[in-house]
Structure 1
Amino acid sequence: MAATVPSSEAVPRTAMPAHDEFGGVIGVGASRTIRAPWRPSSVSRVRRAVVADLAARDLPVSVVDEAEIVTSELVSNAIRHARPLADGTLRVRWKVKGECVEIEVTDGGGMTTPRPAPRVLWSTTGRGLRIVRSLAHEWGVAEERGGVTVWVALGGPSRRRSH
């Protein structure tokens, strides 16, 4: 007769990996890509997904905090100043290598190339890319047919070079 294991001594099940609200597994793989709906509420949803994923990777808190701010700024700027990709979304990709994080936000492009606005002391808008530039080790813009990608390297250099 087979021995039974009392429930108090049951073998624990393997913990199921956590998923973000886009369905991605948190903290797994070297990179993640999500497509977010083209609407203002995507800013907070994308930010939460990026922060949850990066925090699960034991990155320095400062890098996760910077990624949170940069993600909010880039997604907000895309929705405010550009148009969606052909499928009505924007694409957000982040890649982790050691303690460095590269974040990309791709949209359908706008009327102008993304660049920091001129400094105006009393202005209540136009500081997004200035904030990004101050936090980034590197940043740049890549324009290609069908989209514009703004990318940022945090925590150290990337393989890219800013334009």
Structure 2
Amino acid sequence: MTAAPQPHRPLRTATAAPVRDASRTIRVPWRAASVAQVRRAVVEDLAGRDVPATVVDEAEIVASELVSNAIRHARPLSDGMLRVHWKVKGGVVEVEVTDGGSDSTPRPAPRTVWAPSGRGLRIVRSLAHEWGVTEDRTGSTVWASLGGPSRRRSH
């Protein structure tokens, strides 16, 4: 006796839809080589989501500038690291870098034609819809919001 032929059913494969709203945190050593590591991690993560390429590019630049500034002007966290956190929510990408703080509050340097450095936060300010600094007893966090209206703004 032969079995009756079964109707053809396509195989179901598990595919993950891109994660649109999510966050990621990494900790990196407080050293210059970490800038490239952070840049790669941010780009790879955001490129795997429905984030527009221009916002991915802006997030790459902002993350690079914030990590560079933390290494140049601040102290590491108590474990010798920096904390880099980014999230995507409602089409907005927020990037933040937490360090061990410094003797001054981060702010854009005055515009100078001949200065070899000091443009980092001016670049961040030009790309971000909003940016800011939060400080507490353990350090400071510099954050920037890209790709839409800020989630931090209170109305």
Name the TM-score, length of structure 1 as normaliser: 0.81
**Is residue 98–residue 139 contact of structure 2 (8 Å, CA) maintained in 1?**
yes
2:79 paired with 1:87: yes
- CA–CA separation in structure 2 for the residues paired with 1:60 and 1:29: 14
How far off is 1:158 after superposition?
2.2
Q: Percent sequence identity over matched residues? A: 71
Q: What is the match of residue 5 of structure 1?
A: none
**Is residue 27–residue 54 contact of structure 1 (8 Å, CA) maintained in 2?**
no
How far off is 1:50 after superposition?
0.5
Q: What is the match of residue 151 of structure 1?
A: 143
Q: What is the match of residue 101 of structure 1?
A: 93
Name the amino acid aligned to 1:144.
D
Q: What is the match of residue 25 of structure 2?
A: 33
CA RMSD of aligned residues (A): 2.2
Match of 2:105 among 103, 110, 113: 113
Runs of 4+ in 1 over 6 A off after TM superposition: 11-15
Unaligned runs of 5+ in 1: 1-10, 18-25
Per-residue Cα deviation, 1:129-156 (whole angstroms, up to 9, x for no partner): 0000000000000011101000000011
**Is residue 26–residue 85 contact of structure 2 (8 Å, CA) maintained in 1?**
yes
Question: May I ask how many residue pairs the two structures share in their alignment?
Answer: 143
2:39 paired with 1:47: yes
Q: Are the structure 2 counterparts of residues 139 and 57 from structure 1 closer, same or farther at C-alpha, using a change threshold of 3 Å?
A: same
Larger RCO of the pair (alpha carbons < 8 Å, separation 6+): 2
How far off is 1:29 after superposition?
6.5
Match of 1:136 among 111, 128, 146: 128
Q: Are the structure 2 counterparts of residues 76 and 122 from structure 1 closer, same or farther at C-alpha, using a change threshold of 3 Å?
A: same
Counterparts of 1:54-65 in structure 2, within 5 Å, are: 54-65=46-57
Q: Are the structure 2 counterparts of residues 81 and 38 from structure 1 closer, same or farther at C-alpha, using a change threshold of 3 Å?
A: same
Q: What is the match of residue 70 of structure 2?
A: 78
Name the TM-score, length of structure 2 as normaliser: 0.85
When Rg is computed on C-alpha atoms for both structures, the one with the higher figure is 2
